[in-house]
Structure 1
Amino acid sequence: MVQNGDGDRVDNAFDDDAIDENDPNQKGSKLREEEISVERAFENQEVPSWRNQLTIRAFFVSLVLSILFSFIVMKLNLTTGIIPSLNVSAGLLGFFFVKTWTKFLEKSGWLRQPFTRQENTVIQTCVVASSGIAFSGGFGSYLFGMSERIATQSSDTTNIKNPGLGWIIGFLFVVSFLGLFSVVPLRKIMIIDFKLTYPSGTATAHLINSFHTRQGAKLAKKQVKTLAKFFSFSFLWSFFKWFFSGGDDCGFDYFPSLGLKAFQYKFYFDFSAIYVGVGMICPYIINISVLLGGILSWGVMWPLIEKKKGDWYSADLDESSLQSVQGYKVFIAIAMILGDGLYNFFKVLSHTLSGMYYQIRDKRRENVLPVGQGSSSSPQLSYDEQRRTQLFLKDQIPTWFSVGGYVAIAAISIATLPHIFNELKWYYILVIYLVAPTLAFCNAYGCGLTDWSLASTYGKLAIFTIGAWAGAAHGGVLAGLAACGVMMNIVSTASDLTQDFKTGYLTLASPRAMFVSQIIGTAMGCIVSPCVFWIFYNAFDDLGKETSEYPAPYAIVYRNMAKLGVEGFSYLPKNCLMLCYIFFGSAIVINMIKDFLGKRGRFIPLPMAMAIPFYIGPYFAIDMCVGSVILFVWEKINKAKADAFGPAVASGLICGDGIWALPASILALAGVNPPICMKFLSRATNAKVDALLGS
Structure 2
Amino acid sequence: MENNGEDKMVEMSFNEKDRNIKRRVVEKRSGDNEIAKEEEEESKESSIEEIFSTKEVPPWQKQVTLRALVVSFVLSILFTFIVMKLNLTTGIIPSLNVSAGLLGFFFVKTWTKFLEKFGMLRQPFTRQENTVIQTCVVASSGIAFSGGFGSYLFGMSDVVAKQSSETTNAHDIKNPALGWMLGFIFVVSFLGLFSVVPLRKIMIIDFKLIYPSGTATAHLINSFHTPQGAKLAKKQVRTLGKFFSFSFIWGFFQWFFTAGDGCGFVNFPTFGLKAYENRFYFDFSATYVGVGMICPHLINISLLVGAILSWGIMWPLIDARKGSWYSADLSPSSLHGIQGYRVFIAIAMILGDGLYNFLKVLTRTLLGLYHQLHKKDTVLPVSGRSSPEDPPSLSYDDEIRTQLFLKDQIPAWLAIAGYVTIGIISAAILPQIFPQLRWYYVVVMYIIAPPLAFCNAYGCGLTDWSLASTYGKLAIFIIGAWAGASHGGVIAGLAACGVMMNIVSTASDLMQDFKTGYMTLASPRSMFLSQIIGTAMGCVISPCVFWLFYKAFNGLGVPGSEYPAPYALVYRNMSILGVQGFSALPKHCLTLCYVFFIAAIVINGIRDAVGKKRASYIPIPMAMAIPFYLGSYFAIDMCVGSLILFVWQKVNKSKAEAFGPAVASGLICGDGIWTLPSSILALAGVNPPICMKFLSRGTNVKVDTFLGS
Could you report, residue by residue, the CA deviation over 1:407-463 in whole angstroms, capped at 9, with x for unpaired residues? 000000101100000000000000100000011111111111111111111100000
Q: 1:376 to 1:130 in 2, by over 3 A?
A: closer
Shift in Å at residue 380 of structure 1? 2.2
Alpha-carbon distance in 1 for matches of 2:640, 2:378: 52
1:678 counterpart (673, 680, 692)? 692
1:234 counterpart (247, 257, 263)? 247
Alpha-carbon distance in 2 for matches of 1:528, 1:378: 46
Could you report, residue by residue, the CA deviation over 1:482-541 in whole angstroms, capped at 9, with x for unpaired residues? 000000100110011000000000000000000000000000000000000000000112
Equivalent runs, 1:33-432 vs 2, <5 Å: 36-155=46-165, 156-158=167-169, 159-363=172-376, 378-432=391-445
Secondary structure, counterpart of 2:326 in structure 1? coil
Structure 2 residue aligned with 1:5: none
1:559 aligns with 2:572: yes
Could you report, residue by residue, the CA deviation over 1:88-143 in whole angstroms, capped at 9, with x for unpaired residues? 00000000000000000001111100000000000000000000000000000000
Structure 2 residue aligned with 1:530: 543
Structure 1 residue aligned with 2:35: none
- The amino acid of 1:684's aligned partner reads G
Could you report, residue by residue, the CA deviation over 1:551-581 in whole angstroms, capped at 9, with x for unpaired residues? 1000000000000000000000000000000
Structure 1 residue aligned with 2:503: 490
Could you report, residue by residue, the CA deviation over 1:209-246 in whole angstroms, capped at 9, with x for unpaired residues? 00001010000000000000000000000000000011
1:438 aligns with 2:438: no
Could you report, residue by residue, the CA deviation over 1:644-672 in whole angstroms, capped at 9, with x for unpaired residues? 00000000000000011111111111111
1:658 aligns with 2:672: yes
When Rg is computed on C-alpha atoms for both structures, the one with the higher figure is 1
Moved more, 51-60 or 598-607: 598-607
Q: Identify unmatched segments of 5+ residues in structure 2.
A: 1-41, 382-386
Alpha-carbon distance in 2 for matches of 1:195, 1:418: 40
Secondary structure, counterpart of 2:374 in structure 1? helix
- The amino acid of 2:558's aligned partner reads K
Structure 2 residue aligned with 1:607: 621
Q: Count residues in correspondence.
A: 659
Structure 2 residue aligned with 1:647: 661
Q: 1:271 to 1:569 in 2, by over 3 A?
A: same
Alpha-carbon distance in 1 for matches of 2:378, 2:272: 67
Secondary structure, counterpart of 2:562 in structure 1? coil
Q: Identify unmatched segments of 5+ residues in structure 1.
A: 1-31, 369-373
Could you report, residue by residue, the CA deviation over 1:153-210 in whole angstroms, capped at 9, with x for unpaired residues? 1124220000010110110111100000001001011111111111111111001000
Please tell me whether the aligned partners of residues 302 and 621 of structure 2 are also in contact (alpha carbons under 8 angstroms). Answer: yes
Secondary structure, counterpart of 1:660 in structure 2? helix
Structure 2 residue aligned with 1:11: none
Secondary structure, counterpart of 1:641 in structure 2? helix
- The amino acid of 1:609's aligned partner reads A
- The amino acid of 1:388's aligned partner reads R
1:504 aligns with 2:517: yes
- Identity value in percent: 76
- The amino acid of 2:703's aligned partner reads V
- The amino acid of 1:383's aligned partner reads Y
- The amino acid of 2:518's aligned partner reads Y
Alpha-carbon distance in 1 for matches of 2:466, 2:583: 33
Alpha-carbon distance in 2 for matches of 1:35, 1:389: 17
Alpha-carbon distance in 2 for matches of 1:377, 1:207: 29
- The amino acid of 1:613's aligned partner reads P
Please tell me whether the aligned partners of residues 334 and 340 of structure 2 are also in contact (alpha carbons under 8 angstroms). Answer: yes
Equivalent runs, 1:539-578 vs 2, <5 Å: 539-578=552-591
Please tell me whether the aligned partners of residues 477 and 562 of structure 1 are also in contact (alpha carbons under 8 angstroms). Answer: yes
Please tell me whether the aligned partners of residues 464 and 561 of structure 1 are also in contact (alpha carbons under 8 angstroms). Answer: yes
Alpha-carbon distance in 1 for matches of 2:148, 2:325: 34
Alpha-carbon distance in 2 for matches of 1:165, 1:524: 15
Secondary structure, counterpart of 1:612 in structure 2? helix
Alpha-carbon distance in 1 for matches of 2:417, 2:405: 22
Alpha-carbon distance in 2 for matches of 1:672, 1:157: 35
Please tell me whether the aligned partners of residues 378 and 391 of structure 2 are also in contact (alpha carbons under 8 angstroms). Answer: no
- The amino acid of 1:424's aligned partner reads L
Alpha-carbon distance in 1 for matches of 2:445, 2:203: 23
RMSD: 1.4
Shift in Å at residue 34 of structure 1? 8.6
Secondary structure, counterpart of 1:438 in structure 2? helix
Alpha-carbon distance in 1 for matches of 2:44, 2:210: 22
Under a length normalisation based on structure 2, what TM-score does the superposition of the two structures give?
Answer: 0.92
Shift in Å at residue 603 of structure 1? 1.7
Secondary structure, counterpart of 2:331 in structure 1? coil
- The amino acid of 2:606's aligned partner reads I
Shift in Å at residue 604 of structure 1? 1.1
Secondary structure, counterpart of 2:106 in structure 1? helix
Please tell me whether the aligned partners of residues 240 and 666 of structure 2 are also in contact (alpha carbons under 8 angstroms). Answer: yes
Please tell me whether the aligned partners of residues 34 and 40 of structure 1 are also in contact (alpha carbons under 8 angstroms). Answer: no
Secondary structure, counterpart of 1:531 in structure 2? helix
Shift in Å at residue 376 of structure 1? 7.3
- The amino acid of 2:693's aligned partner reads K
Q: 1:397 to 1:577 in 2, by over 3 A?
A: same
Alpha-carbon distance in 2 for matches of 1:34, 1:298: 50
Please tell me whether the aligned partners of residues 462 and 487 of structure 1 are also in contact (alpha carbons under 8 angstroms). Answer: yes
- The amino acid of 1:70's aligned partner reads T
2:464 counterpart (451, 459, 462)? 451
Alpha-carbon distance in 2 for matches of 1:375, 1:432: 43
Please tell me whether the aligned partners of residues 191 and 419 of structure 2 are also in contact (alpha carbons under 8 angstroms). Answer: yes
Structure 2 residue aligned with 1:690: 704
Shift in Å at residue 299 of structure 1? 0.5
2:649 counterpart (625, 635, 638)? 635
Secondary structure, counterpart of 1:603 in structure 2? coil
Please tell me whether the aligned partners of residues 94 and 123 of structure 1 are also in contact (alpha carbons under 8 angstroms). Answer: yes
Alpha-carbon distance in 2 for matches of 1:530, 1:397: 30
Q: 1:367 to 1:293 in 2, by over 3 A?
A: closer
Could you report, residue by residue, the CA deviation over 1:312-335 in whole angstroms, capped at 9, with x for unpaired residues? 000111111100000000000000
Shift in Å at residue 389 of structure 1? 0.5
Shift in Å at residue 475 of structure 1? 0.2
Q: 1:33 to 1:324 in 2, by over 3 A?
A: closer
Alpha-carbon distance in 1 for matches of 2:399, 2:525: 19
Alpha-carbon distance in 2 for matches of 1:185, 1:672: 53
Please tell me whether the aligned partners of residues 47 and 397 of structure 2 are also in contact (alpha carbons under 8 angstroms). Answer: yes
Structure 1 residue aligned with 2:5: none
- The amino acid of 2:602's aligned partner reads V
Please tell me whether the aligned partners of residues 352 and 442 of structure 1 are also in contact (alpha carbons under 8 angstroms). Answer: yes
Alpha-carbon distance in 2 for matches of 1:549, 1:365: 53
Alpha-carbon distance in 1 for matches of 2:44, 2:320: 69
Structure 2 residue aligned with 1:626: 640
Q: 1:35 to 1:462 in 2, by over 3 A?
A: closer
